Amino acid sequence: MKVQNHEVVDEWHSLVNPQRSIPARIVQLTGITNEMVRDAPVFSDIADRFMTFMGDGIFVAHNVNFDYGFLSYEYERLERRFRFPKLCTCAGMRRRYPGHKSYGLGKLCAIYGIELEEHHRAPCDARAAARLLNLINRKRAEETPAPPVEVAA
């Protein structure tokens, strides 16, 4: 998801053929099967499109280092750099909305009424992270004091 001014302005996603069998626990968690990725492109085939989509953006995810690490590794295998500023919605929610017992994506979505129908699938989780980002940004804007107003007399 690409977010500007609290609105999703673009989205891009693709399944990727991992070129190996998907472990059973990952199939159970995500619902993504070997059959679903059999004809999907390999990472090298989508790497340029993803970089173009990222542009000069900030990489945002819930537990950002997890997703960022996967992408960094794949670009490194292609002898390319994946370097973007990053923002973690988990850390942002902990800071701006303290006091919850859990800051897992599913728990936060339940608390704040954010749809999460296909949890652990990229498009669904990205939409949810975008909604959390909007909550964080709105709270940050509320906490930022307005600049003093000068009055000419």
User: Which residues have a catalytic role annotated?
Assistant: 120
Retrieve residue 41's tokens: 């492109």
> E strands along the chain, which residues?
2-4, 7-10, 59-61, 86-88
CB 106 within 8 A of CB 119: yes
CB 123 within 8 A of CB 130: no
Of 116, 99, 111, 102, the C-alpha closest to 135 is 111
CB 132 within 8 A of CB 62: yes
Retrieve residue 136's tokens: 């964080």
